[in-house]
Structures are given as C-alpha cells and as structure tokens.
A and B are shown apart, each in its own frame.
Chain A
Amino acid sequence: MAIRRGRGVAAINYPTGMNLGGDPTQALVHSTPTGNFMVTLSSVDLGQGMKQIMAQICAETIGVPTDRVVVDTADTDTGPHCMGTFASRGTHRAGNAVIQAAKEARQVMLEVAAEELEVNASDLETDGQGNILVKGAPQKSISIFDVALSAHFKRGRSISGRGMFLIPRSYPEKETGAMKPSTCYAHACTVAEVEVDDETGEVTVLTVKNVFEIGRALNPKMVEQQLVGGSWMGISHALYETTEPYYPNRDHGGTDFNQYLMPGPGDLAETEIIVLERPSADGPYGAKGPGEMCANPQIPALANAVFDAVGVRIDTLPITPERILRALRAQAAN
C-alpha cells in the first residue's frame, strides 16, 4: 500500500454566448449635467463583477476615467432588454451593446465640444483623463465637465446613445446538423498532478496549472478571480460533488453542506493561471467569454492523473475514494 503520484492533461475549447445565437442585449448611455456617464442595462451581476467591467468598457469608449461612469442595471422599468447572464455571454453581449451606445454618446459629446472650440468634431480626441483636445494642438482643449454643462444648459443637446448587440439565430439543418453554434471560442489546457492513496482511495490534488486563452483580459485582476474560482470548481466537480451519489438511484442525496461534499480550503491545489490573448473578431475590445470554460479542463485532467497514478480508469463522475477502491479491487482480482 502506497501513496502514488500521477499527472494528467486536458485541452478544451468553449463557445461564447447562447448556443446558436439569437440572444440580444441592449444598453443606454447618457451623461449627467457635469459630465459623468450613466450606463443603463437590465443585465444581472451574479457576483462576477459585470457592473465594473461595463463601467470600464464605457469609460474606454467615451474617453473618461472609469470612476466617472455609474452602472444602473437589473431593473426592468429602466433598463433595456438583456437576455440574461448565462452562457458566458455577459461581457461579450452587453459589452458590445455598451460600446455601441457609448460611441453614439461620444459623437454628440465631440460635436458639442467642436462647437465650443470652433473646430470640426473629426479633429478632436479624448485624453482618457476627462478632456477633449484638438489633434496636434493639445493646448486647445475643453474638459468633458464643461462640454456636458454646455450640452445641457446652452446648446440643448442630449449626450446619449443607444446600443444593441444581436447575433442572428442559427437553425441547425435537420439531416446534417450544419449550424453556427457560436462566433468565438475560448481555449484552455490544464495539467494536474495528484497523489492517490491506494489503501483509502483518497486523492490529493497537488498542483493545477491552467493556461487559458480568453481573447482579452479586460480587467486582469477580475478575470483572475473568475479563473481561479473556476479551477477550484473543476476540482470539486471531478472529485466531490453530486446530489445523487448513487445515480440513477435517488437515495442518499445531500440536503446541506454537511452531506453535500465540496473541497475546503485545505483540499485545494496550488493553482497556477496563465492567460493568453488572441482578440476575438466580434468581442468588446477582443474579449471572449471565459466564465464557464475555466471550470472544465480540470475534470478530465484529474481523471487522467488518477489513472496515471494508480492505473485504473474512473469513467463515472465524481471520482470518489469509493469508486477508486472498487476499481483497484477489480484490477487486483483480474
């Protein structure tokens, strides 16, 4: 009886957005009298930080710092339609809608600034700090604060914009299955190392090294939290979780966290995250949806690592100590 070590690899891809498209999201953007910007959506922030990302996308497009943008969302009386936060679609779909709305608002903002500066709007640029400058003559400038005041009180303009993003729905061909499931895919490759106790069947995950290609890390710290959390969830799916431990038997289902097993902090592996960026053609600033993808490759990587360690295949999830021990016994009997 011994502790045996193994490692396994898995490589995957994952579609961004609702399968087959047809899932719209709309956005509105407007300025306040003093040049702050309000993004109005009905999208839901599930805790992944969608509001923060939409603020950064709007700020980048308008040309102001992120703290000048407020996001009002998840209210059906004010926010235009969003299909929902699922299918790794939030950042991609809502982000594109926010960009379109912000571009329209930016154009009005530049037109008002052009009138104030007596130049053509096409000759203006933003400095990202809240100012509008004449290209090539940055000493000639006006603050966005003053432009918004002018628009509201002097020129009677609404610095606002409407945005929408919709990938037309694809219908699978009945006989061949010809279809367009998605417009862009995120990618991953994970290598996991485990130790398996061949006396108890217990698996200790030593390291999980994940390489994720996500199009663009719009906010590196925030995507890191999502990728690390996903990697942990992958371990949990591989080795611990189910509501029906003896599926298809319905008995023994957990009803609280004492019975429904998940890894605790001590059970989580040393986790490494490496991000590659291949900007997507239709993503907001190149982003793809990494939300679901990042929890998938750990499961087969761990299954393969267990085989590498003790030479038995567990083809039924979750890979519990009971299943490993039964397989080891069957192997010894043969």
Chain B
Amino acid sequence: MELRKSYFADVRKDDLHEIGQPRPRSDSPGHVTGKTAFFADRNFPGMLHLKMVRSPHHHARIRSIDTSEAEKHPGVVKIITAKDVPHNVYTILILIQIGPEDETVLADGKVRWKGEAVVAVLAETERAAQEAAAKVKVDYEVLPAVFDMEEALKPGAPLVNEFHGQNYYLYDSGECRKVRFGDVEAGFAAADHVLEQSYQSSPIEHAPTETTGCVVAPEGNDRFTCYTNTQAMFFTLDNASIILQMPGNKLHFVGGTVGGGFGGKVDVIVEPIAILGAKLTGRPVSFIYSREEEMQISSPRAAEKVVIRDGVMKDGRIVARKVTGYTDAGAYSRHSPYGAQKGAGHYPGPYTIPNVWIDTYCVYTNRTPSSAMRGFGVTIGDFALEVQMDKLARLIGMDPLEFRFINAYRDGDMKAHRQPTEGAALIECMQEASRAANWPVAEKFMAMSSYVKGA
C-alpha cells in the first residue's frame, strides 16, 4: 500500500503520535495461535443442541404438525412450535419504526420459502436433535410460488406475504422510494443519444469463516446470558426482548471477536429461539448454523435488477438519468426495505446530472429472505452504473476515464437528493488511477480539482 500525500496536502496533517501509525493489532497473536475465544468455545454441562425442522416447499399451507414420534426419540428434551413463542410475528427494524411485523420465528399456518423454520428440536446431542427433527411430521398443502420479481409485481401473482398484502414494500412515498430532480423527460428530449440498459445480479453468500450461532446459559438470578456472534449487541437484545416478551434486564449478551460478518449477522434469528429453549428447559442451549444453513438459510445479499436510462450529449455531458431499481427481498423484509431505500439515496452515482428520476422497489418473492451485506443497497447499483458509464463513453466515442472526469461531482454540486456535495475526491482518485495504471487522459483533466472553484 502506498499513501499519496501530495493530494489534499493543504488539509491533511502528520502531527499525531498514535493515529497514522502502523501499530500491530493487539488481537492478532491470539488469532494466529488459536487462543482467541469465539462464542462457540463456550461449553456448559448439560448443554442442549437445537436443530430446526425446515420447510421443503417454497410456499405451502401447514395443515397439521405431529411431533409425537420425535418426542419419543432418545435424547430429545423439548420440542418448540409457533404457539410456544410469546411474540411470534416480528420484524427487526421495528426498533427504528420500520414495520409492519411480517415474519414468524416459527412458521404458523404457512411457509413462504424453502428452508423456513417450522419446529425447533432440543436434544442432548446434535445427532439426536437432527434425527428427531427428521421424525417431525408436517402435513403441507403446496401453494403456487413466485420467484421472479417482475412476475411477482404483476396483478394476480401469488401473494407472498399477507402481512404486506401486496408483493412490494409500501413506503410512505408509495410503492417505491422516489427521487425527483429537474425534468428528466426534457433531458432525454434534448440529449444527442438515449441509452437504456438493464442489469441483473444473483443472491450472494457472506461466506464467513465462522457460521452464525449462539450459546445461551440460564443464570441463577433468573437472567439469561447469550454468547453470540451478532454484529449488533443491543439491536439483537432488544429484538429478542420483544419476541420473548421478556424485560431487557433479564438478558445479558456477550459478544467478542467475530469470525467474519459482512452483514450476515445482523438478522436476529438464532438468539430468540435459543433463549426460549433455555427458558423452557432450564438448561444451556447451543444453536449454531451448519455450513449448509449458512449458505442457503441465512439471508444472502439480495438479487437486484437495475434499469438505467441515460440521455448523453456528444461532448460527454450526461443530461438525464432515470434509474429503476428492484431489490429481491425474498419472503420477508428483514433489512431489505432499508437497502432499497439506500439505493435511492445513492443513485445516480458520484456524477453531477441536472435531471434525475429514481424509483427503488423492495419486492417479495418465495425465496430465502435477503438482508444486509457489505455494500448493501449500493454494490450492485455501482456495477450497473459503472458498466453503463463504459457503454455511454463508447457510444459517443470517448475514452471511458475522460468521460467520467466530465461528469464527476465536485464540492458544492447539488445532488439529486438535494444535498450539496461536500468532501468530494472522485477526481483525485481518477487522476491517481490514470498515473498508476498508465492510462493517460488529457492534461485538462489532470489539472481538475474537487474543490469549489475560487474557494
């Protein structure tokens, strides 16, 4: 890594003692010698293991659940169904007033994605729990499912989630989050070229070294200690408190170093049911995802579809940009309404465009609920935007890097969401990339600055 101090030399300083110093990490010796403690290193006498009975169907009504054979399986201590969960219908963003509650801790009457948790089995060993889970009999009536976002948005599509009533999240702004700036149609009409292109991604797994999980121990004072690898301690505690209808002071969450998160450990999934298991049995409970569960059950990065329509002039100026973004939330909201909304704040990218129209939709389908992941709401949008930039440059016969200089935002430029640009540095990054990659651009671009002219 090289630090290029020649950029922004007027504002960056080297007058500190500890900041800017490459001090060795205090925890790395523990990591490389295997001494760092992770949540799963906790082991308590009498600890039970929790395994989930999961839906084999993408969408089905549950006619009945028969746990009688499973209860007789050697080593089984407790079987939990929806009726045992005090507040079974929840949504995690209710803590910041983003509802409605739309997801069940354990399926109640219906499953909406293949892999959804239906029954929790607690047993003396992982093997006994797994074997007993296979003996739980669930009678399903399979329902039509919808997997494609465009199909899901058509009238008459199977309804994925009754708590929403339609297959998209309803914002206060309507069926999508909207940004309106300038007159986009007038921009297209005045443009030398108009280019509309569509981009698509597929769900992506966080693939942390350490799978999601927790170990819960009932304490002598009527409290429960939850050792967890959540990325958000109080967010998880407070949601568990709501789901379990248990005062927060009964809960003690202990985290520590986590073996990789990437956004995959901000859904509150394993903790509430494990705490409930510990409460109902009076014994410590371990609930740790297998690698298969981590890959197909825990939320992935959402698949997204992004449609970009641009009006561009021969001289390289983008004069209008319309973006329609679709986020595939899967069957439940989790963090997806937030992610789709974040996209609306991010488009049209780091470029100054006078006419902008943005709609971002959060769409429900019968697949594994998606949720946060590194770059949430932005990563796939950037893929679409920057491929589109390449296409536009070639369309007008301009160098792709020079084309970006022409449109790059600078301090003071008004963004589409009506905030003036502050602290811009895109131009300087491109100048340095031009040098480092030996990708020459015209001298006038190398002389540009993100600073406000004359300031």
Contacts and interface: CB of A to CB of B under 8 A. Distances in A.
Residue of A22, A176, A257, A295 with highest tally of chain B CB at under 10 A: A176
Contacts of A328: none
Given A49-B27, A316-B200, A233 B374 contact: yes
B417 A84 contact: no
A184 B411 CA distance: 12
B370 to A, nearest CB: 10
Interface string B3-22: 11101100110001111111
Interface string A276-314: 111111000110000111011101110110010000010
Interface stretch (B75-83, B184-192, B249-257): B249-257
Given A11-B429, A46-B260, A46-B261, A286 B12 contact: yes
Contacts of B205: 241-243, 254, 260
B412 interface: no
B162 interface: no
A79 B383 contact: no
B361 interface: no
Interface string A216-238: 11111111100110100100011
Contacts of B25: 49, 52, 222
B3 A275 contact: yes
B202 A247 contact: yes
A189 B429 contact: yes
Contacts of B237: 76
Contacts of A233: 374
Interface stretch (A28-36, A59-67, A111-119, A146-154): A59-67
B177 A276 contact: no
B175 interface: no
Given A177-B344, A315-B387, A300 B296 contact: no
B272 interface: no
Contact of B232 (A44, A227, A281): A44
B258 interface: yes
B248 to A, nearest CB: 9
Contact of B22 (A128, A184, A221, A253): A221
Interface string A75-90: 1110101111111000
A180 B418 CA distance: 8
B19 A57 contact: yes
Nearest to B5: A277
B382 A10 contact: yes
B386 interface: yes
Contacts, number: 408
Nearest to B24: A221
A52 B23 contact: yes
Contacts of A244: 202-203, 303, 367
Contact of B258 (A46, A65, A209, A216): A46
Interface stretch (A12-20, A131-139, A195-203): A12-20
Contacts of A272: 436
A307 B388 CA distance: 12
A253 B147 CA distance: 14
A277 B430 contact: no
Contacts of B266: 84, 86
Interface in B379-419: 379-380, 382-387, 389-391, 400-401, 404, 408-409, 416-419
Contacts of A296: 375, 378-379, 382-383
A273 interface: yes
A47 B258 contact: yes
B300 interface: yes
B345 A20 contact: yes
Nearest to B451: A278
Given A12-B386, A274-B1, A274-B436, A256 B291 contact: yes
Nearest to A242: B202
Nearest to A19: B342
A12 B2 contact: no
Given A46-B231, A47-B257, A247-B202, A299 B382 contact: yes
Contacts of A292: 374-376, 378-379
A105 B353 CA distance: 47
Q: Which 7 A-B pairs have the closest CB atoms?
A: A84-B232, A177-B179, A300-B386, A74-B255, A181-B345, A128-B17, A191-B437
